[in-house]
Each structure stands twice: as C-alpha cells, then as structure tokens.
Amino acid sequence: MRIDIITVLPEMLEGFVNESILARAQKKGLAEIHLHNLRDYTNDKWRRVDDYPYGGFAGMVMQCEPIDRAISALKAERDYDEVIYTSPDGERFDQHVANELSMKGNIIILCGHYKGIDQRVRDNLITREISIGDYVLTGGELAAAVMADAIVRIVPGVIGDEQSALSDCFQDDMLSAPIYTRPADYKGWKVPEVLLSGHEAKIKAWEMEQAMERTRRLRPDLLKD
C-alpha cells in the first residue's frame, strides 16, 4: 500500500516514517510512505499557505489553492481510495478503522494546521475526516503518524509473526491478556502456572478469561451489550 502525507512540517515526520516497523515495511516493499511539503505547491513568494479568515475570526486558515494543487498533482499520478483530513471533529480512529484502511491501495492524509482548513477543501476534496481523540493538537502530523503506524503494521507480511498483530489489543474489542517472559520466578513474583504447563487449550482459555476480566475492569465501554 502507499500513504502520501501532505504537511507543512515534513521534518517532523521524516524520522518517524523511516524507523522501526514503518521502515521495515518499506524495505520489504510492502508499503510506501511519502511526505509532501505543502509549501511546495504555493505561488506565494514567501511560501505561505495560510491567510486570515473571512468574518473577522481569530487565527489563520490553510488556503484552498495549495491544497488543491498538492492533491491534484498526486491524483494525476495514480488513483486514491481515500483522501483523509486529520481533524478533531472527524470520526474516531480505532482498530476497526485501521483494519479497514490497511486493505486500501493508496491513501492521502492531509495534516491540518493553524486554525484549520478552508471549508471548501473539506466539501470538495476530502473523502474522510478522522480524529485520533477528543483533544486538539497543534497540527495533524502526530495524528498522521499514529494512523500510518497503526495501518501499516497490520499489512500482511510487515510483522514477522502475523499472529502477533492479529492478537493485539482491540482486535476483538477486548484488551489483551497479561504477558510474561523469563525468569519464571523473580523476587517471588511468579508467572502463572498455566503458562508453564504447555497445555495449549488451558492456556487459550486462561488468555480469554484474563482478556475479558481486564476489559470489564479497565475498558467496559468496549464490550457490546
């Protein structure tokens, strides 16, 4: 899959998209992540991409023209399944949305900034608005990074043990069970005996029981009525 991120701060994302799982996915040829500086698409000699809002409101607003040019330039090269705008009033990003987007071929993510973007961009160029939580960030770069990581890591083949991705928290609307590693006894803090038993069925039953208990206690909102 391919993710194109349009931003006024590409430097903020360069290190992130070229490390860890995202770097591995790109080296394997399973994903492409490209950063585009919105300022490269403006005719303003100062490379400005924002202006004052009509109506006398406070703050600065991202302009239509450079955003339209950036998106149009990308669309001239390939088809895109989604053009996503990172916005605090968009739909909530969760594991289900990540799973859905991981099945797409090409995605554009437009990072919001300043007070926001001209509404005409949202009305005519954006196919989907997504929020990573009910709070406001300085810009959409962190949201784009979160989405890219969550989406790419579940693309088949990115993680060596694909079952690891499938059993992550939230995949089945439940938190994961507690996990342990060696030593089996540290300062008297012991690993549950069932995990040392080698009895696969019992271990699976324990995992499900623990996952359900943790979800009820910590995130009861995830459990369906």
The reply to whether 79 sits in an annotated binding site is no
Q: Is the peptide bond between 183 and the residue preceding it cis, with omega within 30 degrees of 0?
A: yes
160 close to 166: Cβ distance less than 8 angstroms: no
Handedness of CA 40, 42, 44, 46 (dihedral sign): negative
The reply to whether 59 sits in an annotated binding site is no
| Tokens at 194, concatenated | 């069932």
- Cα–Cα dist 84/78, whole Å: 16
47 close to 178: Cβ distance less than 8 angstroms: no
The reply to whether 136 sits in an annotated binding site is yes
The reply to whether 112 sits in an annotated binding site is yes
The reply to whether 135 sits in an annotated binding site is yes
What lies within 8 Å, CB to CB, of 154 at 6+ separation is 98, 99, 102, 165
∠ CA 72-73-77 to the nearest 5 degrees? 110
The reply to whether 67 sits in an annotated binding site is no
Annotated binding site for S-adenosyl-L-methionine: 112, 132-137
Annotated binding site: 112, 132-137
